[in-house]
Each structure stands twice: as structure tokens, then as C-alpha cells.
Amino acid sequence: METAKDYYVRRMRREDVGQVVDIDREAFPSIWPVPNYRRELENRLAHYIVVCDRGRRVPENDGRPVGGFKRFNSMVWRLLGGDRWHRGDTAIPGQELILGFAGIWVLVDEAHLTNIAVRELERERGVGELLLISIIEMSQKLKAIFVTLEVRASNTTAQNLYTKYGFKQVGVRRHYYTDNREDALLMTTDGLSSTAYQERIQDLKQRYIQKWGRPQFQQYR
């Protein structure tokens, strides 16, 4: 099984949009329309990253990358008119394989985690945690004071990961998710620049490397 030593993190590029759209459709098939990621890349408030596997490429399979994307959900999404916003955004065979992506909007001193998603077949391999570490480090570089996010009330696995990285519940958004009107928990970190939080992140980063191997972390500017 691949470990994180095969992974590297970088900023999202325009040529990544096809794979990112596929991952988004797979991870969030019934919540809301897929964001216009091409427009997001032009948004000065938005910052997106991807985790790639340097040893794997998008295969020849009718324009879709591997990762377990459910064809049924794709067809339903098209019938609902989603493809009118993403025509031409398909994965190109031979591209380096993107395993997951995440994005933040930075507003004044807050970095808001807008989405984080991993291919279904790549989960439980450290990709999601690598994305979270990288998003926190990116937020620090962008001078954000704290990071906020919403998470499903039922998603205890994600909540445990966020809690591990210093997020605390500070509120509830009632009926936030449109597919089943489930509540979202609003979570936030303490000050990113505090010595205690920086030491915590560096300790967790080293533990991650010990468990999964050392990925290539990008130095964000």
C-alpha cells in the first residue's frame, strides 16, 4: 500500500479542475452544486491545494480518473443541469493523479475551510490529515489568526480529526445540509500564531511522518 512518502502537496492549477470536480461529485453527490473551481482559482480570497501521488497517473478510462467515482451520481448530476457549469472540465489521461483537495477563503484574520475531500479509494491512507496539516500551515503563512469550518453533526470521524488539530466546537448551524437538513457543528482553532498551537502542529506533523512517511510539503507563499 502506498504511504504518504509517495505524496506531495501543491497549489491547485487550472489543469487540475477536471479531477477536482470528479472528487467533489464523489464526496458530496447530493448536498449542493459543485463550485465553479475555475472561478475560484481567480478569486483572491480563495486558496486551494491538492495532494498528488508522484508515481501514479490518470488512466485511460473515458476521461474519468480512478478513485471509485460513482457513474450513477454523475448521470443524476448531469440530469440536474450541473454540467452546464463544468463542460470541458474532465480529467486528462496521463495527468498526475490527484488524491484529494482542500480550500480556504481568507477574510481579514479568518481562514474558513470551504471544502476538503479525498477520493473514496484513497481514504484511510493519511491523505485527509495531510490536507488538514497543509491547510493550517497555509493559513499561518497567509497571516490568518484562526481557522473555522463546518462539519456534519453525525460525522464523528472528521470531528475527531479536527479536535486532534485543536479545533473546538463554538456553535451549531441548524439544518445546514440541504440533502437531509442535518445540523452542522461550527468549529474553530485557537490562535494560529500562539507558541502553544505552533508547537502542537509541529508535534502532530512529526507523528504523522512517523506513521505515514515523509511527504513533500510545499512552502506556500
Catalytic residue ranges: 150, 162
Q: How is 60-120 classified by DSSP, letter by letter?
A: SSTT--SS---HHHHHHHHHTTGGGGTTT--PPTTSEEEEEEEEEEEETTEEEEEEEEE-G
Whole-angstrom CA distances from 40 to 31, 36, 49, 84, 145 are: 19, 6, 12, 17, 22
Q: What are residue 186's phi and psi, to 5 degrees?
A: -95, 125
Beta bridge partners of 178: none
Q: What are residue 165's phi and psi, to 5 degrees?
A: -95, 20
Beta bridge partners of 7: 53
Q: Are 26 and 67 in contact (CB under 8 A)?
A: yes
Cα angle vertex 62, ends 56, 65, to 5°? 30
From the list 61, 93, 76, 60, the residue with the least C-alpha distance to 25 is: 76
8-state DSSP, 121? G
